Structure 1
Amino acid sequence: MAIQAGERLPNIELQVMGSNGPEKVQTGDLFAGKRVVLFAVPGAFTPTCSAAHLPGFVVDADKLKAKGVDSIICTSVNDTFVMDAWGKAHNAEQIVMLADGLAEFAKAVGLTQDRTASQMGIRSQRYAMIVNDGVVEVLNIDEKGLETTSSEAILAAL
C-alpha cells in the first residue's frame, strides 16, 4: 500500500553524487527539519521525464523556494552516475538528484510499478509530494501524464 498524507517517510540509505563520487545519504537526514518537494520519475533520460517533468521543476525551482520550500529532490530507480548526468544535462543545479538504484525507497513507500515487460524492471511510479519534517503533507500520483505531479500542480498545492 502506498504511503499516505500524514505518514512519516521511511529512513532509507540512498546515494547522491558528491564532489569525489557517489555518497551515501539517509533520507531521514534529507527531510529532517525541512519543507521538501520530492518528485519521482520512472526513469532518467526517458521521454516524458526528460521533456517535461524534470525541466518543469528546474524552471520553477525559484518559485517553489519562494513559497517556503527548502529543498527539491528528484528520485528515480537509476544509479548515481545516471542521475548525476541527467541532472547536469538539464541544468538541475537546484535539485538534489537522488539515486534509488535498487528501488528500496520506491518499495518502502509503496510506489513501484513493474516495467519488466518493456525491459525496465521494477521502477518508481510517477509521483510528487510535499514533505514537512519527514511527514507527507501532499501526495499526488499520475498513472499517465503530468496532471497532478508537475511543478505547476505542486506550486498550486503549496
Structure 2
Amino acid sequence: MIKQGQTLPTGTLSQLTTDGMQQHSTNELFANKKVVLFAVPGAFTPTCSEAHLPGYIVLADQLQAKGVDLIACISVNDAFVLDAWAKSQNASEITMLADGNASFTKALGLEMDTAGFGGVRSQRYAMVIDNGVVTTLNVEKQGEFEASTAETILATL
C-alpha cells in the first residue's frame, strides 16, 4: 500500500466532461498542485451518497481556502456513472475520476474484493497530494467512516 511521503504511481483516469470523455495521466493531473483525493467504494451507494461526497461539496470552499487546488473523487466505476452521480449530487466543484478497471487503485494497493457487491472496488480513503507526493493518507477501517471525511481532511491542512 502507498504510504505518506511516496510519489503516486502513474495511471490513467477517465472523466466525462462537457467536451466528452477525457483521459487524465495521474502524473499530469496531480503535478504542481495541492490535491485532496478521496475514494469511494461505489457511486450511488449509501454512505458515499449520504455523507462522503456531500461532505466534500459542503466544505469545498474551506478546503480551497486552505490552498487546495483540486478536490477529486475516485471510484472503480465508469465515467458515465460518476458523471450521473455528480449531477444528482450537484457536485460541480468536485472532479469525478473513474478508475473503471481498478488499475490505479491496485497500483496504490488500496483495492478490496467485494465479490457479492461488485467485485474489485476501492477501499474508502482520503489523501492529500502535494505535487504528486502523498502528504496525508487516511484509510478507513472496514465498515467505518471517520478518517476520510471532509472534516477530518480539512483539520489536517
Does residue 99 of structure 1 match 2:98?
Answer: yes
How far residue 13 of structure 1 moved from its aligned partner, in angstroms, is 1.1
Tell me the SS of whatever aligns to 2:37: strand
Looking at structure 2, the residues matched to 21 and 121 of structure 1 have their Cα atoms a distance apart, in angstroms, of 27
Partner deviation per Cα, 1:114-149 (whole Å, 9 max, x = no partner)? 001x24100000000000000000000112232110
How far residue 21 of structure 1 moved from its aligned partner, in angstroms, is 2.3
- Counterpart position of 1:123: 121
Does residue 139 of structure 1 match 2:137?
Answer: yes
- Counterpart position of 1:154: 153
Partner deviation per Cα, 1:55-104 (whole Å, 9 max, x = no partner)? 00000000000001000010000000000011111111111000000001
RMSD of aligned residue pairs (Cα, Å) = 0.8
> How much identity, in percent, do the aligned residues show?
55
Does residue 10 of structure 1 match 2:9?
Answer: yes
State the AA in 2 paired with 1:102.
N
Q: Within 5 A, what are the aligned runs for 1:55-74?
A: 55-74=54-73
- Counterpart position of 2:77: 78
State the AA in 2 paired with 1:104.
S
Tell me the SS of whatever aligns to 2:153: helix
Looking at structure 2, the residues matched to 68 and 145 of structure 1 have their Cα atoms a distance apart, in angstroms, of 28
Alignment gaps of 5+ in structure 2: none
Structure 2 length as normaliser, TM-score? Answer: 0.97
Alignment gaps of 5+ in structure 1: none
Q: Within 5 A, what are the aligned runs for 1:19-34?
A: 19-34=18-33
